[in-house]
């Protein structure tokens, strides 16, 4: 009976590991969710970045898009073994910016918060101002 218990435990461990790895791969393929906020002077894009260190974050501009790549690691916990590896380790996301965003490294900052969010601030380009459109006024001089 002891051998049967070991076999069952081994099977459960194998299933949990495979399911967990599948969930992790799904997280890695799914784009990071983000919020795009706007003020008078700038845009703020907020990405969830749990378990990430500053050194493991990449933020770059490609055309009118902010691209983010996060690398996470699973720390070793003494006395514990991995039963369900369900968190994705490489997460990516992007946000398309409005046309008045100053898409240059000088026009942006990125901050990783203690709460596990990445905040990317992008100034609005002051050269991009809207032009008011008026209705044509018909002349009465005929």
The 10s digit of each residue's pLDDT in 104-140 is 878 899 999 988 899 999 998 877 666 677 778 776 6
1/67 Cα distance (integer angstroms): 55
123/106 Cα distance (integer angstroms): 9
What is the pairing mode between strands 42-48 and 34-38? antiparallel
Q: Does the model's pTM come out above 0.75?
A: no
Of 96 and 87, the structure prediction assigns the larger pLDDT to: 96
What's the mean pLDDT when you consider all of the chain? 80
Convert the pLDDT of each residue in 41-59 to its tens digit: 999 999 988 888 899 999 9
**Three-class HEC string of 15-30:** HHHHHHHHHHHHHHHC
Whether 27 has a pLDDT exceeding 60, the answer reads no
């Amino acid at each position: 009976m002891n051998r049967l218990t070991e076999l069952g435990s081994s099977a459960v461990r194998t299933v949990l590991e495979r399911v967990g790895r599948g969930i992790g791969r799904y997280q890695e393929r799914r784009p990071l969710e983000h919020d795009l906020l706007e003020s008078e002077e700038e845009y703020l894009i907020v990405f969830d970045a749990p378990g990430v260190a500053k050194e493991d974050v990449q933020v770059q501009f490609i055309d009118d898009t902010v691209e983010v790549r996060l690398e996470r690691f699973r720390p070793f916990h003494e006395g514990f073994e991995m039963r369900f590896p369900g968190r994705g380790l490489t997460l990516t996301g992007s946000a398309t910016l409005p046309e008045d965003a100053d898409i240059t490294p000088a026009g942006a900052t990125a901050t990783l918060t203690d709460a596990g969010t990445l905040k990317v601030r992008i100034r609005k380009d002051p050269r991009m101002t809207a032009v008011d459109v008026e209705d044509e006024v018909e002349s009465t001089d005929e």
